[in-house]
Structure 1
């Protein structure tokens, strides 16, 4: 079985606000379940794939099976979902299905997306208690993929102008007006991966890491830590014995 799914296009992608600060916000790119179903139907046919869900240790998993004509059997790949902010079980079912489809290769190019930061001049950011909020809608107006890697990306604000454009080197153009707002230096995905690996070895969960980050550094997201804070946290975790 030699499967090759089409790359996602701008029409397949939606933007989600990940984090809002006074000087700007970050965006995440994601696909929805309808996109996965469309590509499965188009590539292998609606009668040649199926999905099933089951709970394991209180978590909802989805398995996506594709019929392998050569082997005359179903081939399954699965993944676990996370809860949504609205409907718990529906959100888990949808998320686990999308993750299982990632395992089949659908939309895997999204893992190559750059860090997307929108300066405050291009977004309506308002105080919301002790935090900040933004209710603007952002749209992917262009996305090109070459050899499984996003090579060009343009994002606009609904009813407005371009707020983000990916440069040829994978960086972004700031689109600042008269005020030069410096993009904050966040931890890299590689640093976070190392942090999670060290924590896992010592029995420290991701939720415990987040609580520690908030308690000691007053940072809501792990990625907001400075390099000094990151080194300090890693050093403290490395001192722990597993299960302590």
Structure 2
């Protein structure tokens, strides 16, 4: 790799590699030490092509979710089976992993800006801005940037656009799938909301079992399936379809709502 070789967004790969190495080393104990991350399905990652792969996941914190995925993806690609033991996998990380994030979040401080350099595709949210509901048009440049990232590698997105559970899937995700025809890999995570603060920067509680399940790619008919059909597939795959609420005990739902209310005032 040339010292000043850049990715399609102008980021110097040598610098990005060192950011991933350093950030990964500093955060490793958050998933294997203070808490324990249980992984399922990491072998699926090794069967995927090098680019045009879209990961869709539920969302529990701003940053801890995606950092955990960087760990799991690189550990798996280095040959580890459902484990992030030994951070040696960070020495030669996959540099064409990107994640979709709100532009205002990635500009909210020095650390988010550093994390943005490590792989963010920053977009303007069409439904929320500065803590208030908005209604604005999708920027075509944002869609194009996601397409550029898919053309270069793997992209992680959280299609609900929020860390609160059971919110609807944003239609933009389905439009991106129909337009760029990526392989779509669902991921279901849990335990991050209990382990970290809402931003995913501060450890809130130790000894929590975190989990990440990587599922088989979705079977999608890109030409004939509607946006609604694709949204429903994603909802079921990441276990956020409204029907899942019927099998969750009422006391657990009440506890979730109570926790969300506390977060609303704490941050």
Both proteins in one fold, TM over 0.5: no
- Would you tell me which structure has more strand in proportion to its own residues? 1
Structure number with the bigger relative contact order (C-alpha 8 A, sep ≥ 6) is 2
Task: Compare CA radii of gyration and give the structure with the larger one.
Answer: 1
TM-score when normalising by structure 1:
0.29
TM-score when normalising by structure 2:
0.27
